[in-house]
Amino acid sequence: MKKKQQHPGGGGADAWPHGAPLAGAPPGPGSWKRRLPLPPFLRFSLRDYGFCMATLLLFCLGSLFYQLGGGPPRFLLDLRQYLGNSTYLDDHGPPPSKVLPFPSQVVYNRVGKCGSRTVVLLLRILSEKHGFNLVTSDIHNKTRLTKNEQMELIKNISTAEQPYLFTRHVHFLNFSRFGGDQPVYINIIRDPVNRFLSNYFFRRFGDWRGEQNHMIRTPSMRQEERYLDINECILENYPECSNPRLFYIIPYFCGQHPRCREPGEWALERAKLNVNENFLLVGILEELEDVLLLLERFLPHYFKGVLGIYKNPEHRKLGNMTVTVKKTVPSPEAVQILYQRMRYEYEFYHYVREQFHLLKRKFGLKSHVSKPPLRPHFFIPTPLETEEPADDEEQDDEKWLQDIYKR
């Protein structure tokens, strides 16, 4: 027997067998055709809602504490946007301004024996030309500070007339830790073995500024120590040619923590982190002209016209007077031992070098070395080799710089 077909509007069963719903009342179970179910991703309980809100609150608090606890300076964030790094604002916000912001606080915590004599001389000329406040220090042999010394130095720097550029041989200082505004840092490093050898012979024999220069800087050095063969110093593991004395560059970027002076991964990684978050530029001395070009681009209020001054024949003549004399080349065996002892220094140097070359490519500057060498080039010829006083024997160079500036 065939079943009779029932039509919705015919004499079949009523669409609401229990009576039509009252006006405004929700439809009953039989009204499934009139009701759309919620998608699964919109179905959540009150507990889920509370979890989401708690996560959002933690994220906001974390961001706040990050900024209060020493996050990157605002200038570096603006610069990263300008350079087109992958940030939300770059992809979704308005196009970055073609005029870089002007940082009014710059710190150059110069690494010893890495060309800062030349840079300081240039800064003296530039400060007169552009009218910024160049702040120097009479202390040249104290890079590690106590907590009270850090607070005092940060207070003195922060109260200087802005815009200022402060320069001193000192390990990285976290201004935010003591309630100050974190400045923009700049620095220059060089091949670690080259730096060590330059320091070794400079302490003993000085530079071309005078034959007796070394006697003034290290008057208490005994003759047998002054004429100690570099190979003997390395192969016999003298304190001057071994760790921790060889662990020199990384502490300038790691900071004032005691572990920053211990050769190892902790200090290395912290130094890299500070380079990324607090340093506008870390250049390499082997490509000093490109360093000056980028400084002029990033900090035109301080470094505009620096390359022209640097290339001036009179300036180059004076700069060449700081080249270390009587420098000799260690044996291949001794060099290899140094390379092994300074492996953390080299890992940091190559990291900075790669970052520097990436930055150069963003501005269309070609690197002189296309591929990293299998072994470090310990003696790279440069048109102007610049030297720094030894860290533990440094004297006041203000008079020498002033005499050059007057001339």
C-beta atoms surrounding 67 within 10 Å: 13
Length of the chain: 407
- Closest by CA to 118, choosing from 395, 388, 380, is 388
**Contact yes or no for 157/134 (Cβ under 8 A):** no
Residues 6 or more apart in contact with residue 46 via CB below 8 angstroms? none
What is the amino acid identity at position 37?
P
Q: Retrieve residue 174's tokens.
A: 């976290």
Residue 292 to residue 286: CA distance in whole angstroms:
12
Residue 262 to residue 192: CA distance in whole angstroms:
17
Q: Retrieve residue 347's tokens.
A: 């890992």
> Which single residue is written with the structure tokens 């179910």?
37
Q: Retrieve residue 375's tokens.
A: 């072994």
Helix axes 343-362, 265-278, angle to 10 degrees: 20
Could you give the 3-state DSSP secondary structure of residue 115?
coil
Phi, psi of 197 (to 5 degrees): -65, -40
Which residues are 188's β-sheet partners? Answer: 283
Which residues are 133's β-sheet partners? Answer: 164
Has 18 been annotated as catalytic? no
Which residues are 135's β-sheet partners? Answer: 166
**Contact yes or no for 346/196 (Cβ under 8 A):** no
Q: Out of 140, 169, 171, 315, pick the active-site residue.
A: 169
- Closest by CA to 231, choosing from 202, 206, 255, 200, is 200
Which residues are 167's β-sheet partners? Answer: 108
Residue 105 to residue 157: CA distance in whole angstroms:
9
Let me know if 13 is exposed, middle or buried by CB neighbors in 10 A (0-12, 13-18, 19+). Answer: exposed
Active-site residue set: 169
